[in-house]
Amino acid sequence: MIVLASASAARLALLRNAGLDPKVIVSGVDEDAFSAHTPAALSLVLAKAKAEAVAAGLGDGLVIGCDSILELDGRPYGKPATQEEALDRWRIMRGRTGRLVTGHCVIDVAAGRQVAETATTVVHFGSPSEEEIAAYVGTGEPLSLAGAFSVEGRGGWFVEGIEGDHGTVLGISLPLLRELFDELGYAVTSFWR
């Protein structure tokens, strides 16, 4: 059994479209209770915390935990708390290049084994006008997204391009997840529906 320890609809859709049919158990981890020296380290700490919180209640299964953070000027940006914060974020981001880091953790509950790693995708932001930023933030979309943008939704109009795996931006890197499964001795193809 594969368990996705995430409330992210994007992560679930990505795994389903890629042939898996995970059971979703949201971890409920309080992300504000964690800190780390770098955005990448923070994404890993949070991915592990989410996977561990869900794995603690299971006797078997492969539990996947993830956390996505935008790194800009070395600072971590998660989901904006308010529309005002999202507006301010876009005024910083526009015309700039950031790194979307997603931490991944997979726990083989029965074997008591855990593997974890980050994936990073470079994001080149466009230069939306004040009116465009206000219109985008006004849709409410940015509030549920790490870095206050989507690459395939309404935010896509303001993303000039990315360098790296697009799944990492959506919230889960399939090639990295394949490596982590392989490290635990599992072939992802064996779970394809």
Ligand X SMILES: Nc1nc2c(ncn2[C@@H]2O[C@H](COP(=O)(O)OP(=O)(O)OP(=O)(O)O)[C@@H](O)[C@H]2O)c(=O)[nH]1
Please identify, using beta-carbon distances, which residue of 108 and 167 lies nearer to ligand X.
167
**8 Å CB contact between 86 and 142:** yes
- Residue 103 CA to residue 66 CA, distance in Å, equals 5
- Residue 12 CA to residue 26 CA, distance in Å, equals 11
Choosing from 11, 48, 99, 104, the residue that interacts with ligand X (CB under 6 A) is: 11
Catalytic residue among 21, 32, 67, 73: 67
**Per-residue x/- mask for ligand X, residues 156 to 185, rule CB under 6 A?**
-------------xxx--------------
- Site residues (CB under 6 A) for ligand X, limited to 119-158: 145-146, 150-153
Please identify, using beta-carbon distances, which residue of 68 and 181 lies nearer to ligand X.
68
**8 Å CB contact between 134 and 140:** no
> Residue 70 has what DSSP assignment?
E
Shortest separation between residue 110's beta carbon and ligand X, angstroms: 23
- Residue 89 CA to residue 160 CA, distance in Å, equals 17
**8 Å CB contact between 68 and 149:** no
Shortest separation between residue 31's beta carbon and ligand X, angstroms: 6
Q: 3-state class of 25 per DSSP?
A: coil
**Per-residue x/- mask for ligand X, residues 65 to 94, rule CB under 6 A?**
-xxx----------x---------------
H-helix or E-strand containing 101? strand 97-108
Does residue 67 carry a catalytic annotation? yes
Residues listed for the chain: 193
Shortest separation between residue 104's beta carbon and ligand X, angstroms: 11
- Residue 59 CA to residue 177 CA, distance in Å, equals 22
Please identify, using beta-carbon distances, which residue of 44 and 109 lies nearer to ligand X.
44
Please identify, using beta-carbon distances, which residue of 87 and 147 lies nearer to ligand X.
147
Site residues for ligand X per CB under 6 A: 6-8, 10-11, 26-27, 50, 66-68, 79, 145-146, 150-153, 169-171
Q: Which residues are annotated as catalytic? A: 67
